[in-house]
Structure 1
């Protein structure tokens, strides 16, 4: 019974959602997302989403992961997103599909293959990325792809060598056709006087000659028709009849064999129909997800995970307003507040504000990115609205009556997990009574703890919101000098109506305005003037605040760019150090060879020369150690944060290249004394990493790997020029890399990618130490940003 009631409730919410979508122009907003879809598949998927049928966290996680993927790997081709469902319907119905349909299927299945491979070979997503498990559901259709390519040519025609019989039929057909044409050409050469034209033609699928009507008796054969003027008779010569018969028989045999081949090819698709249909559902979703990714990247949208009841829109833009004209909206309804009362003059943007709030919440809860800042917060609240003119001629409702009907419906459905949006609350009737009704509605919402945002012109409602500790007052910014709206929201300040100023601007005579002022209550005038004064001050402060925020954004951007450049410089420096290290190794090897020659020489006068060479080697070794230390220092600063590098007495630490945990007990000079379970060691701080509670627990629980002796086995030739060694120990990784390089040397690849991740840097350091001594390697470096950055080492053989 409870499940039934829940189902009825969801159905009623979905039904009401359709009403809301119409009121806030949601279909037009959705079109801005559908524009980025590859095909109708993605459009259908986006249309199907609503807050009650989508796992929003999973959906937005997919979008976030695909954004990272696209920024490195680029967008996939559109081939996998071709809508082949009409063709599959023919297959399912037992109909024979033609060559052009097979070309579409081939393009579609090849697109799936390319898509699978692009995700398989990517270097940005880790193996735990949820979107990888999603894409991995796509099937392998190599058998069908190869079968179609072997049978259908680029024009959609069945190839001659699709079968032995078809090739035999077509060869015989071509030979017969050559014989027919040869005989007809000879006949034309010897009977020019009886022919209307010196050529042959085809009538009723048979080769015939155009004979003059008055000469028809001179040629034996079958008449196949007359020209429209009656001057030409089309005759099939008697000696050509058997050959035409043979051509017809061969054409029928060809058609029969082609049908057999296509039926066999169709059956291969039929056998995989269930998998293909399943994949189309995956591709439908993937198309929609990539459309959202394009929206994020091209429109600078944000991925906001909905949670709680805290509403905050930062620099939110309505999707239907042109980017050059839209004014970003900032509005906030904290969790401990119940409602916002927004005031201000007409045409100030209050309705657009409500629509922006509504469409942002519905979009986010349906799994869409939105045009807003990253600091925005979207609540998990159901939306109920009364926005726009609710007048209805058919239902005989006035504007006021229409508003009341909508509000009553919202109050019937809303609960403490809802957000009610009401435009121009209390309007459309006498202002005095309208104010009373508006206050009654607000008090009802407050009593039932229903969140709300309302707009109004009514002064009593402004005053009520200013005095209530659970309500927030806001207004639409207005320029009193130009008498024009600025469309920005000013929080915690009521708005003046500016009715007199606006009336004067649009030509209402001063005499009428003076008479009108006499009818204003003195208290009302004072309140309006106070509000105008506050508005002006707040407007100036908001302008200054926006300037400071822009300065902060510029600073943050510059800081981020600087950090990225600095990191690249450090990586470059590390590579320079490593190059220097390799040169030192070469010098040491040369010195050792020279020393061996000296020792073996019979002309060695004394040990002096040997000592000299040893001294040179010792100097090179010392230089080697210095360079190694520089590399380790740069690696340490690159992968270890400032917080992890700040070591104090009492901190839990581990060695930069180790996992054992110890505690800093004191400092001696420039070294820290670390207690590793009773064993105290003096270590330089730059060799240590401070460990947080979470990492400490993970390291403590991590199982040890017993050392085992392994034998190298050369496997099959490489199909991919990359190897993933993340999660391995240095020893395990080195062994795998040795095998990988052996296979790389025997393959057509000249470059290889070793994916080791960033982590602590220990694995990367160990791998580089190993590569340094490997003479098979011509050069190696960290990956560029599009290759995985410092998480990947690129080797050249």
Structure 2
């Protein structure tokens, strides 16, 4: 998404999707499996908005946009490798809600406000991440910082203070939403208790005569009533508010509680009015900040898309591709030499792999391991592709046996070109592409029954369209050109079509079995032959692409391997012309020579590995000798310290004053113990630093320093010997920490241990509403929840769930748990608290402060 200034009138959902400048003409994305790859990359996102952004991603012919996308993804990849993290959960399209909020006097629902608040939380967190360390952001990820720069002029902290903590997980407003709402709810609670007491008195008086069904108070139409047997309904003075489904029970509101119920209904009306007023105020506050909310959502959608692409790149070991442009080729060779980087040329792929093929091979390997119970064998990926075309030789004719990988080479080249121009890193060790304005492919069986086209006709229609659109900046991929028709006519047509694309000067890769095309490539400047490998001994393909030589189709050899009758093969060989046989024999001899050269290269590689192993052995022996010397030196130093300690004690014994001697002895023991510990730590650190190279400022050789510290983690401070919580990252080496109410700054050298803490987001808590929710959990391991929500349960159901939960928590060793039961009439609260006070695993039962739930929750201390 290009940087721009958004106005409130610009709030549309279309702004949240990527804008692709100069979209690439690629009518072959399905044939090259671009939609399937895009779907896979989108699986690395966390929010529906980030997923939608990636699914709308398309390649572009705008080099500036491509480079920006690649640069930002590269920066995000570096951020991830350094242990960076950000929570994108809850990010959604706020357009419709913001438009609704802008209507004068409108009120969003509480759940809608909560959803928008979660978006605001994400936007504010991202803005603060960049705002707190702008110089570090410019240095670490300038592209991401430039993308996010428009957001820095807005501050959403005031909006968060206004809205945060006022909406409960179930969508209701908390008592803290306003003082008036708190007053009304307190009054309602008092009225509840008065009505309940009055009804209990009535129940006791009526139950003596057998009029009531049971001692139960219930609610009908917001009125508190008691159940009365139908035959005794005239004995209970009051208003009947309905009957049970069986008709045996009627629900009566006694006369003495009518006024009390009227007062409660009035309070309920006032509460609803206050709730509506609060929602209107919240809606108005959100509408006032619609511009930064929408702008931040646009930015975070693209940031998450870069996050997903970076995770994909790490998973498949991808690289950032380079682009060969006329400007790059115009660099003089002398200057390129000075820059220690040769001028880029044409289309070059080294170690390229088809991403979807590699992912499928990984899945198959895992499935086989699961069946066999083996998890030690590493997965084998597709054979890497190496390919090179220069501006003066843009056409490649690939030949060779069936199942040899010709089509895979075409698809890999085309798909990686689409990925590169869509801003996605490519799975290769090195990749250089021209800047294509169009990518076209004719791959596979294009037969169309609906269009009444045969395979050959469909191919011709497709090739004709490509020929009409392709230019010198296009990539054309043609599979089995000239097939599906008479061989002689197909060969002539294939040569003519290849010649057309040669004259157009398009970048072109063609696979074929036709000898005419192989001869065409040998006789025309600007055309290269290439062959997929084939093992003549085992008669199996090797899937390697060899540039500069044509390949033999080896159809007769493959037929022989598959068991075709010898007499049929002999007759087939007799039908071949002398010229065809000679060409085949020449190609077989040429590939044998290439195989011999490959064997020699493999022998050289093995010798290099032996030399490397010998070097490693010598280094290991040197390290062992160094360790021995270190132990001897440490032993001598410890002996010196022990001698000094002995002499110190003897000196203390010579002092006549026993009290002074005892004090000096005690102080000296403590001081010697501390000095010995500090000396040991410093000695070990010095040895490690010298061994790894850290004392020579090698940044990759500092294993004793903790990595990946983030806000919320618990760290052990060496200087105090106590654990502290990280509140803020000042910079990469200084952290603001707190120990209880005390706050301080600590350097990374003072941090000995790190306990990573994972915080459950509001969205995750909302998803667990009605069940078990968790506040925090240490690490990434399985955890026992510390909170249960029983709102909406009957008293018996809630007691059963809480009883099971307490047993599990006690067995898990939790020190305390929290039970959320809501306020309501207070039946759940009283039932559960009475039950908990008599539970053998419970020590104390307390009510949390109002800002932490008040009467709507109960905190329980468990026995240890």
TM-score, normalised to structure 1's length? 0.67
Match of 2:304 among 266, 272, 287: 287
After the TM superposition, which residues 78-89 of structure 1 pair with which residues of structure 2 at under 5 Å, given as runs?
78-79=88-89, 81-85=91-95, 87-89=97-99
CA-CA distance at 1:406 after TM superposition: 1.6
CA-to-partner distance for each residue in 1:324-358, whole Å, 9 max, x for gaps? 34221111112221211100112222111111111
Partner of 1:613 in structure 2? none
Aligned: 1:165 with 2:180:
yes
What SS does the aligned partner of 1:23 have? coil
CA-CA distance at 1:42 after TM superposition: 2.0
**Which segment is superposed worse, 38-47 or 20-29?**
38-47
Aligned: 1:470 with 2:526:
yes
CA distance in 2, matches of 1:339, 1:271: 59
CA-to-partner distance for each residue in 1:391-415, whole Å, 9 max, x for gaps? 2222222222222222211111112
What SS does the aligned partner of 1:437 have? helix
CA-CA distance at 1:92 after TM superposition: 4.2
Partner of 2:356 in structure 1? 320
After the TM superposition, which residues 85-96 of structure 1 pair with which residues of structure 2 at under 5 Å, given as runs?
85=95, 87-92=97-102, 95-96=106-107
Relative distance call for 1:751 and 1:226 in structure 2 (3 A) is closer
**Which segment is superposed worse, 172-181 or 314-323?**
314-323
After the TM superposition, which residues 466-505 of structure 1 pair with which residues of structure 2 at under 5 Å, given as runs?
466-505=522-561
Partner of 2:567 in structure 1? 511
Partner of 2:460 in structure 1? 404
CA distance in 2, matches of 1:302, 1:433: 43
Aligned: 1:184 with 2:199:
yes
After the TM superposition, which residues 385-464 of structure 1 pair with which residues of structure 2 at under 5 Å, given as runs?
385-464=441-520
Aligned: 1:377 with 2:390:
no
What SS does the aligned partner of 2:322 have? coil
CA distance in 1, matches of 2:22, 2:487: 33
CA-CA distance at 1:722 after TM superposition: 4.1
CA-CA distance at 1:556 after TM superposition: 11
CA-CA distance at 1:465 after TM superposition: 1.2
After the TM superposition, which residues 505-544 of structure 1 pair with which residues of structure 2 at under 5 Å, given as runs?
505-542=561-598
Relative distance call for 1:273 and 1:13 in structure 2 (3 A) is closer
CA distance in 2, matches of 1:274, 1:443: 56
Unmatched segments (≥5 aa) in structure 1? 1-9, 570-630, 641-718, 726-736, 754-778, 785-797
CA-CA distance at 1:450 after TM superposition: 2.2
Aligned: 1:109 with 2:120:
yes
- State the superposition RMSD in angstroms: 4.0
After the TM superposition, which residues 566-585 of structure 1 pair with which residues of structure 2 at under 5 Å, given as runs?
none
Aligned: 1:357 with 2:413:
yes
Q: Is the 8 A contact 1:60 1:305 kept in 2?
A: no
CA distance in 2, matches of 1:298, 1:554: 31
Aligned: 1:143 with 2:158:
yes
Relative distance call for 1:213 and 1:440 in structure 2 (3 A) is closer
CA distance in 2, matches of 1:550, 1:112: 55
Unmatched segments (≥5 aa) in structure 2? 1-18, 326-344, 363-379, 627-689, 700-726, 755-864
CA distance in 1, matches of 2:523, 2:487: 20
What SS does the aligned partner of 1:235 have? strand
CA distance in 2, matches of 1:129, 1:553: 41
Relative distance call for 1:320 and 1:58 in structure 2 (3 A) is same
CA-to-partner distance for each residue in 1:130-174, whole Å, 9 max, x for gaps? 322222333421111111125224544322232222222112211
Larger Rg: 1
CA distance in 2, matches of 1:165, 1:553: 79
Partner of 1:261 in structure 2? 278
Match of 2:34 among 18, 21, 26: 26
Q: Is the 8 A contact 2:94 2:294 kept in 1?
A: no
CA-CA distance at 1:365 after TM superposition: 1.0
Q: Is the 8 A contact 1:65 1:125 kept in 2?
A: no
CA distance in 2, matches of 1:140, 1:550: 61
CA-CA distance at 1:635 after TM superposition: 11
Q: Is the 8 A contact 1:79 1:112 kept in 2?
A: no
CA distance in 1, matches of 2:20, 2:66: 19
CA distance in 2, matches of 1:550, 1:63: 37
Q: Is the 8 A contact 1:80 1:112 kept in 2?
A: no
CA distance in 2, matches of 1:226, 1:358: 74
CA-CA distance at 1:44 after TM superposition: 2.5
Partner of 1:748 in structure 2? 743
Partner of 1:76 in structure 2? 86
Relative distance call for 1:77 and 1:227 in structure 2 (3 A) is closer
Relative distance call for 1:39 and 1:151 in structure 2 (3 A) is closer
CA-CA distance at 1:290 after TM superposition: 0.7
Aligned: 1:62 with 2:62:
no
CA distance in 2, matches of 1:458, 1:401: 19
CA-CA distance at 1:389 after TM superposition: 1.3
CA-CA distance at 1:507 after TM superposition: 2.9
Partner of 1:236 in structure 2? 253
Partner of 2:212 in structure 1? 195
CA distance in 2, matches of 1:156, 1:399: 60
Match of 1:51 among 56, 60, 74: 60
CA distance in 1, matches of 2:127, 2:28: 39
CA distance in 2, matches of 1:131, 1:13: 22
Match of 1:337 among 393, 398, 401: 393
CA distance in 2, matches of 1:231, 1:635: 86
Q: Is the 8 A contact 1:474 1:495 kept in 2?
A: yes
Aligned length: 593
Relative distance call for 1:557 and 1:724 in structure 2 (3 A) is farther
Partner of 2:853 in structure 1? none
Relative distance call for 1:303 and 1:721 in structure 2 (3 A) is closer
Relative distance call for 1:97 and 1:347 in structure 2 (3 A) is same
Aligned: 1:252 with 2:261:
no
CA distance in 2, matches of 1:267, 1:542: 73
CA distance in 2, matches of 1:471, 1:263: 71
CA-CA distance at 1:304 after TM superposition: 0.8
Partner of 2:221 in structure 1? 204
Q: Is the 8 A contact 2:91 2:118 kept in 1?
A: no
Match of 1:99 among 91, 110, 115: 110
CA distance in 1, matches of 2:607, 2:42: 35
What SS does the aligned partner of 1:368 have? coil
CA-CA distance at 1:250 after TM superposition: 0.9
CA distance in 2, matches of 1:558, 1:110: 57
Q: Is the 8 A contact 1:32 1:319 kept in 2?
A: no
CA-CA distance at 1:127 after TM superposition: 7.5
Relative distance call for 1:12 and 1:752 in structure 2 (3 A) is closer
After the TM superposition, which residues 535-614 of structure 1 pair with which residues of structure 2 at under 5 Å, given as runs?
535-542=591-598, 545=601
CA-to-partner distance for each residue in 1:308-327, whole Å, 9 max, x for gaps? 36111111111211243422
CA distance in 1, matches of 2:570, 2:53: 60
What SS does the aligned partner of 2:275 have? helix
CA distance in 2, matches of 1:72, 1:151: 36
Partner of 2:139 in structure 1? 126
Q: Is the 8 A contact 2:206 2:212 kept in 1?
A: yes
After the TM superposition, which residues 5-24 of structure 1 pair with which residues of structure 2 at under 5 Å, given as runs?
16-17=25-26, 19-24=27-32
Q: Is the 8 A contact 1:195 1:210 kept in 2?
A: yes
CA distance in 1, matches of 2:93, 2:395: 47
CA distance in 2, matches of 1:86, 1:557: 64
**Which segment is superposed worse, 21-30 or 84-93?**
84-93
CA distance in 1, matches of 2:20, 2:171: 48
Partner of 2:368 in structure 1? none
Aligned: 1:36 with 2:44:
yes
Q: Is the 8 A contact 2:481 2:512 kept in 1?
A: yes
What SS does the aligned partner of 2:298 have? helix
What SS does the aligned partner of 1:182 have? helix
CA-to-partner distance for each residue in 1:217-239, whole Å, 9 max, x for gaps? 22211122233333222211111
